[in-house]
Amino acid sequence: MGIVAGLDSSPDFTRIVVCDTDTGAVLRQGYAPHPVEGRPSDIDPQAWLLSLGEAAGGGLLEGVQAIGVSAQQNALVPLDAQGNTVRPALVGGDKRAQVAAADLVDALGGREAWAQAVGCVPQAAQPVTKLRWLAKNEPENARRTAVLLQAHDWLVWQLLGRPVRRTTDRGGASGTGYWSAATGAYRPDLVELALGHQAMLPEVIGPSDAAGTTPEGLLISAGTGETMAAAFGLGIGLGDAVVSLGASGSVMAVHPEALADQSGMITSLADATGLHLPVVTTLNAVRTLRGTAELLGLPDLESLSDLAMKSTPGAHGLVLLPYLEGERTPNLPHTAGTLAGLRRESMKPEHLARAAFEGMLCGLGDALDVLRGRGVDVRRVFLLGQAAELPAVQASAPALFGAQVVVPQPADYAAMGAARQAAWALGVSQGTLDPRTPPAWQGAAAQVLEPGDELAVGQAVRQQFTAVREQTHPGAFQS
């Protein structure tokens, strides 16, 4: 039928995939790094455009009928009344804003008030917190700020030639801290609370709506945040969860409704299809493995995995609570890790290696259980990140998570999700697709792992971990 493109503007680079509209098969792709050194907390958005132009070079977009845009989340682009950037975009985790986050929590009356208002408690990375930082630290810039966009909103607006209408999607809006996934509405009062005055916010359009058409006739879809685009590219649906193994970990699942969580452990995001993506994060995932490898004098995680495989499930009673950087799930910000069950027979390198993998996965299992405890159905777990390829992870994860584990082959899932969104918007505009049903593209090529006979063993290891956690941090999940 035709071809569409998806572009993903991540913190470090732009990646573009050109896909077949019907099947999603990737036909060609482009890549370019952003023209900046390292990962600064402030970046001129023009760098994203330069990178985009370079990635699209060589006629990459020839014949493309529609484009979808995925971009890094939490980037705040403040514009003045004329549409010019007031200052460089505030991007990334931005530790400068930690005090501002605490200020905002107090200003609205606590964590529960925020969870009820917008489904999440302010974190340093979120746009609402960056607004508070701006008001406190750069009051003149805050006064000049008239329009608030995120990275994908700004890129879509630029591709369309900077029209009067500015748009976003519910996925991107749900991460701002001033839009509620539960009500589907902005909270302008929270913008005012953070910034000191009102600002113009982009119109939230539907998942299959088009943001507009370029003068050349190229349709631009709504766009979305990287997390939502990756979920859409993977093809996850109800009953699926995604566990991402980075230095820290995240667990998200597809759910039909928004979840307000007064503890603040669940961040209630919207997805790119009209459903919801509740997310639970842990501070300690692969950093647990790296720390253990260093302690044991091992050169890399592959060596740690090989060593762990010489042990057995339960690591001879050795349990590692992997709260090395404090922890967010459970909420123990000032704690440290704990190694329990030391006996003469358990004091061997292979048992410590095994305990590190089991501790990391049990911590993520706790995060999955936070979602299950709120009625989220989890039958299949997609495992992402380089560590997902390690034999020690694959040997333990299905039994510890109590679910089928899917390890997709590495691919540009965010860019593919953006392309799928473009195909949806194109099909709806042509009358060939239902606005409520996205195009059925081929799923991710993946390895599928079943818990099988190991399920009971996995439950015993989880119980061993839970007993140590409850003894060390009584009631951590009830607080």
Q: For tokens 């290891």, name the residue.
A: 461
For 109: left if phi > 0, alpha if psi spans -120 to 50, otherwise beta; the answer is left
Q: What is the pLDDT of residue 197?
A: 98
d(CA 355, CA 412): 32
Residue partners of 82: CB distance under 8 A and separation at least 6? none
Given a contact cutoff of 8 angstroms between Cβ atoms, the answer to whether 54 and 32 are in contact is: yes
Tell me the average confidence (pLDDT) per consecutive run of 10 residues in the chain, 479 residues long: 94 96 96 89 96 97 98 96 97 86 96 93 94 97 98 98 97 97 96 98 98 95 96 96 96 94 88 96 96 98 98 98 95 95 97 98 98 96 96 98 97 97 98 96 92 95 98 88
What distance lies between CA 217 and its chain's CA centroid? 32
Residue partners of 359: CB distance under 8 A and separation at least 6? 288, 319, 320, 321, 322, 465
Share of the chain above pLDDT 90, in %: 93
Q: What is the pLDDT of residue 1?
A: 66
Q: What is the pLDDT of residue 24?
A: 96
d(CA 97, CA 82): 27
Q: What is the pLDDT of residue 192?
A: 98
Residue 288 tokens read as: 């647990």
Q: What is the pTM of this model?
A: 0.94
* Partners of 351 in the β-ladder: none
Given a contact cutoff of 8 angstroms between Cβ atoms, the answer to whether 150 and 73 are in contact is: yes
